[in-house]
Structure 1
Amino acid sequence: MTSVPPGGVPGDGRYGEAAFRPDRAGEAERIDFGALAYDAITMARLRALGAGPGWRCLDIGAGTGTVARRLLGEAGVASVLAVDRDVRFLDARPAPGLRALQADATAPDFAPGLFRLVHARFVLMHLPERDRLVGRLAELLVPGGVLVLSDAVDVTGERTPDTPYTTAMRAMWRGLRDTIGTDVSTVTSYPRLLREAGLDQVAAEIHVPPLEPGSAISRFWADTWRRSGQAMLSTGLIDAAGIDDAVRYLESDACAALSAGMLTAWGRKHQGPVG
């Protein structure tokens, strides 16, 4: 399944402006549904990579700050700098050791310091400069530090039967590509990009949460379709009734589909010679 027609040009809008505006009622709740679906997987990986006491961490595109707060509370890291282009959700939920920074990580002067962990989840897929940004984020690591990147991957294929769900997902990926440049087709290249950035011990994994009626991931997708409806309709692949059908399908026992997965890739900065 492709997210844009051959020869298509990605849109030049921005996440949080052309779509998913933080000032729209309910946006924090939509983000939190995604967190409920993925945070446990993210935290298991970060802790397996050693995140713990003494670590200074950077969380890019921190959203409502769920990962940042769990790093502080569960992993016991020393501090987390949570960066977002709009920090209203972070300011609304402060925590000891958590500092919010309103900034654009793609800006040339973005230089927040050096960190033991640099983490970005569901961020790079929305940015046209994603390949270059991997190298820039790697430069923010101290020796021995870890860069962890997570983004969505579409695990359905051309032979996947058409359902209200698959129709909505095709329209969503196409509409977001055309509107804000979202592209999940290159996410599987992240391990290679991490190696090209000079990192060692590179590996990756994919988690696909089950679509069950009332589940956090099902509610996340329903909310996401509602909030990207204009972009979806503009593709001509779906109409308003089709979006409503897809939401009802997610909420029914008839739903039999694969959610988009989350690919997490990581690499570690070489520590250099000892002594």
Structure 2
Amino acid sequence: MSTPDEGYGETIFSHADANEYERLQALSDALDPVTLSVLESLPSEVGPQWLELGAGNGSVARWMAERHPSVHVTGTDRSLRFLDPRGHDNLRFLCHDVTQDSFPDGSWDLIHARYLLCHLPERDYVHSATTRWLSPGGWLVLEEPALFPLHSARDDAYRRVSLGALEVLAQRLGTDCTDCALNLPIKSASLGLADISMQVTCPTITLGTPACTFWRLTLEHLKPAIAELPYVREEEVADVIDRLSQPGFLDLGMATITVTARKPCSGEPRDGSGAEEHRNGEQR
């Protein structure tokens, strides 16, 4: 794929767009229950330095700070428009471009990123960098979208328009919703991480659900570009958006792949046998 001409948030999904906060809030409402459950299931001895990359509207970083008042939480994003640390003494937000700005090796005990790597052509570099930034014994939690359920959507127009939206993102931003998420476990293993687990969540798209609101607003934002694709008619895009706003529509959405992995301590066997309890999905 050729190098994209723009980055996430420059034109597509700019925080200055009228509905962007609503779109991000809907995504948080859809995904936070799984994210927070996974974070809550991590071992209690995780150290106190926590990093939220690509904090978006800040929902996960705020939960970290509220749920764990003894932890020091840093949330980063290229835009701080929607991020406010007030009311949380243990939370700060930092303007930070993960493709250019770094942190010292071993400086974070927990790093979480959601729907970040897929939008970065430099995703392999960033994945490797986050591993270096982890302290020995620290945890990496990555969540990325995967489009494979959309291929099984029963509504033909909805399927083509939805896949068209992801093609637009691939062309404009270099977004990868095909392989990025599914490759997370094997790439994490290749970087020396241990205790790797994977969870798959697939919401349905129907009126009244946060996933539906998120996807409708995404399609509205990308509507002109989707309509230019050769296999989508302009009126189909408007029709799909309209039907997502009406009762009765029900189909598959994108999956979210959640991968957790731990950085082994010095001298520890690569298989990470010391965290068997977490790998088997047991709660602490």
Superposition TM-score, scaled by structure 1 size: 0.89
Match of 1:238 among 216, 229, 232: 232
- Offset, 1:59: 0.6
Q: 1:24 aligns with which of 17, 22, 25?
A: 17
Contact 2:153 2:252 (C-alpha < 8 Å) held by counterparts:
no
Tell me what 2:264 maps to.
270
User: Residue 228 of structure 1: SS of its match in structure 2?
Assistant: helix
2:103 aligns with one of 90, 111, 120: 111
Offset, 1:249: 2.3
Structure 2 CA distance for partners of 1:157 and 1:233, relative to 1, 3 Å: closer
The residue number in structure 1 matching 2:276 is: none
Task: Kindly provide the amino acid, as one letter, of the partner of residue 20 in structure 1.
Answer: F
Superposition pairs for residues 1-275 of structure 1, below 5 Å? 9=2, 11-50=4-43, 55-76=48-69, 78-91=71-84, 95-107=88-100, 109-111=101-103, 114-156=107-149, 158=151, 160-186=153-179, 187-273=181-267
Describe the SS at the equivalent of 2:197.
strand
Q: Which has the higher mean CA deviation after the structures are superposed, 38-47 or 110-119? A: 110-119
- CA distance in structure 1 between the aligned counterparts of 2:44 and 2:75, rounded to whole angstroms: 16
Task: Give the number of equivalent residue pairs.
Answer: 266
- Is the CA contact (8 Å cut-off) linking 1:28 and 1:64 kept in structure 2? yes
Unaligned runs of 5+ residues in structure 2 are 269-284
- Give the letter for the 1:128 counterpart: P
Aligned residue for 2:51, secondary structure, equals strand
Inter-partner Cα distance in structure 2 for 1:27 and 1:221: 12
Q: Is the 8 A contact 1:61 1:121 kept in 2?
A: yes
Task: Using the TM superposition, give the Cα deviation of residue 125 of structure 1 relative to its aligned residue in structure 2, in angstroms.
Answer: 0.3
Equivalent AA in structure 1 for residue 121 of structure 2: P
Question: Separation in 1 of the partners of 2:96 and 2:150?
Answer: 37
For residue 262 of structure 1, what is the amino acid of its counterpart? T
Separation in 2 of the partners of 1:67 and 1:147? Answer: 15
The secondary structure found in structure 1 opposite 2:76 is strand
Paired residues of 1:208 and 1:260 also in contact (CA < 8 A): yes
| Cα distance, 1:180 vs structure 2 | 0.9
Identity %: 29
Identify unmatched segments of 5+ residues in structure 1: 1-7
TM-aligned CA deviation for residue 92 of structure 1 = 7.6
Deviations 1:208-266, CA, capped at 9 Å, x for gaps: 12322121110110101111223322323334422221123223443231110110112
Between 1:236-245 and 1:48-57, the stretch displaced more is 48-57
TM-score, normalised by the number of residues in structure 2: 0.86
1:229 and 1:213, CA in 2 relative to 1: closer, same or farther beyond 3 A?
A: same
Q: 1:92 to 1:119 in 2, by over 3 A?
A: closer
Structure 1 residues 121-172: Cα deviation after superposition (integer angstroms, max 9, x where no partner): 0000001111121111011111110011111011336564443321221110
CA distance in 2, matches of 1:93, 1:242: 44
